[in-house]
Homo-oligomer: A and B are copies of this chain.
Amino acid sequence: MDVLNLGMVGGGTVGSGVFHALQQNGEVLARRIGVRIQVRKVAVKAVDEPRPYPIPHRFLTTDWRAVVEDPEVHLVTELVGGTTVARTIVLTALRLGKPVITANKALLSAHGPELFREAERHGTNLYYEASVCGGIPIIKALREGFVGNRIRALYGIVNGTCNYILTRMARDRADFPTVLAEAQRQGYAETPPDLDIDGHDAQHKTGILASLAHGTWIPASRINVEGIRSVTPLDLEFAAQLGYTIKLLGIVKQLNAPESDEDPTEVQVSVYPALIPSAHVLAGVQGVFNAVFVRGDVVGDTLFYGQGAGKDATASAVLSDLADAALDVRLGTRRRRPAFVEVPGRIRVVPMDEIVTRSFVRLSVVDRPGVLARIAAVFGQAKIGIASVIQPEGHTGEVVPLILMLHEAPDGAVRKALARIGRLPVVKAPPVRFRVESLS
């Protein structure tokens, strides 16, 4: 059987997971693809660092260049993270014509097109299944499974930390800081947690999925992002009463049906916490699990669910890429499925202000007649319809909650109206608002 040598850079959470999975299942993988993948060296920052799975000393080195440049190394994994040294590692390997497997969504988000170009220039390829939703083979599904589809809509729960926090808040009626602190203690959230809870990790992943779906690279700068800091147990509770669950979603939605090739395809690409119907499969995704709901024009509605992170689930995705890369090296077909394929056609990423959605609004108002009339007047002037008003029972005191469900309206108009409402003397706290996604 053919043997290919793997040079690993990074032996931390994911790297040691990959090392361990290859030890455990390398033989069955070899039988399945007809190529044996053998770890040659693992470059790390400090050899004596403790690792989730042990890596024997003889494999370890602190010299990543020696690993990548070793002429006996045929495949390279970059499992370091970040956008600085990781970029150099990937570029160095690609320039040597070596296929690179990475889990680094931040790097792809920041430098995707540069890396794709470099891979093409040197007749090699970049594989990144592990960069989005850990163990869920969503990139393969989009690129290969749905190769005959136009992706009409994609809604992803792509950040396990946020989903864990929202699930716990809903279940235990606990507030955000409490649950976050606990998640950090239990290792479900990083310290600092900003990358996750402010939505940037989801933004990177959503950008990758949106780009693959539409065949145009969509940089993070064009993706509106809002995190989950503003969600309170009260919102989760009222949403539940109305039949909704709040989830942080990555959203990629085609908004028009272009008549000709001249017309741009208009696409929404954004990340925000949204109310989704509790009966929808996506609402049932609990805890650290991830899921991606994909609507293709041919296939219809589909859902992919699994663990979005963790040493093992992520390693499973790296092994999948390793198998593809190994086959491509052995068969001399490194450009079989290029890392990114530009599909001609104009894409307009629609600015958030123009995006039309329904809204859930929670106001803190003084408990006095006439208040609703004042608020309704502002929405009326802005031509925003009110679908329903709920004054939840059991709240007493000077200031009480008032819940409004608004009809579809452009985001800019809703935000302006809410700013005005926030300045009304009868409104005692900044308005809270979440968009409603029917997913239909």
Which residues in A have some Cβ–Cβ distance to B below 8 Å?
Answer: 21-22, 24-25, 28-29, 31-33, 129, 135-137, 140-141, 143-150, 215, 281, 284-285, 291, 296-307, 310, 312-313, 315-317, 319-320, 322-324, 327, 331, 333, 336-337, 341, 343-344
Do the beta carbons of B300 and A135 come within 8 Å of each other?
Answer: yes
Least distance between A236 CB and chain B CB atoms (Å): 18
Q: Which of chain B's residues has its CB closest to A136's CB?
A: B302
Do the beta carbons of A146 and B302 come within 8 Å of each other?
Answer: no
Do the beta carbons of A296 and B316 come within 8 Å of each other?
Answer: yes
4 nearest A-B residue pairs (beta carbon): A148-B319, A137-B145, A302-B306, A299-B316
Q: What is the bound-complex CA distance between A337 and B337, given in angstroms?
A: 15
Do the beta carbons of A29 and B145 come within 8 Å of each other?
Answer: no
Most buried by B among A297, A302, A324: A302
Q: Which of chain B's residues has its CB closest to A129's CB?
A: B145
Do the beta carbons of A305 and B307 come within 8 Å of each other?
Answer: no
Least distance between A384 CB and chain B CB atoms (Å): 34
- A144 neighbours in B (Cβ, 8 Å): 137, 140, 144, 320, 323-324
Out of B24, B135, B140, B291, which one reaches A299, CB within 8 Å? B135
Out of B291, B320, B333, which one reaches A147, CB within 8 Å? B320
Q: What is the bound-complex CA distance between A24 and B296, given in angstroms?
A: 13
Do the beta carbons of B300 and A307 come within 8 Å of each other?
Answer: yes
- A148 neighbours in B (Cβ, 8 Å): 21-22, 25, 29, 315-316, 319-320, 322-323
Do the beta carbons of B307 and A32 come within 8 Å of each other?
Answer: no
Least distance between A45 CB and chain B CB atoms (Å): 25
Least distance between A196 CB and chain B CB atoms (Å): 20
Do the beta carbons of B304 and A304 come within 8 Å of each other?
Answer: yes
Do the beta carbons of A336 and B327 come within 8 Å of each other?
Answer: yes
Q: A29-B147, A331-B333 are in contact. Are A303 and B302 (CB under 8 A)?
A: no
- A150 neighbours in B (Cβ, 8 Å): 25, 28
Q: What is the bound-complex CA distance between A333 and B330, given in angstroms?
A: 11
Q: What is the bound-complex CA distance between A141 and B144, given in angstroms?
A: 10
Least distance between A116 CB and chain B CB atoms (Å): 14
- A313 neighbours in B (Cβ, 8 Å): 298-300
Q: What is the bound-complex CA distance between A141 and B303, given in angstroms?
A: 13
Do the beta carbons of A305 and B306 come within 8 Å of each other?
Answer: no
Least distance between A160 CB and chain B CB atoms (Å): 12
Q: What is the bound-complex CA distance between A28 and B315, given in angstroms?
A: 32
Least distance between A32 CB and chain B CB atoms (Å): 5
- A22 neighbours in B (Cβ, 8 Å): 148
Q: What is the bound-complex CA distance between A241 and B404, given in angstroms?
A: 35
Least distance between A259 CB and chain B CB atoms (Å): 15
Out of B24, B301, B320, B331, which one reaches A145, CB within 8 Å? B320
Q: A148-B320, A320-B146, A323-B144 are in contact. Are A298 and B24 (CB under 8 A)?
A: yes
19 contacting pairs across A/B (C-beta < 8 A): A22-B148, A24-B297, A25-B150, A28-B343, A29-B147, A137-B140, A137-B141, A137-B144, A137-B145, A137-B146, A140-B145, A148-B322, A291-B303, A298-B312, A299-B313, A300-B310, A301-B307, A302-B304, A303-B306
Do the beta carbons of A341 and B32 come within 8 Å of each other?
Answer: yes
Do the beta carbons of B146 and A316 come within 8 Å of each other?
Answer: yes
Q: What is the bound-complex CA distance between A272 and B107, given in angstroms?
A: 47
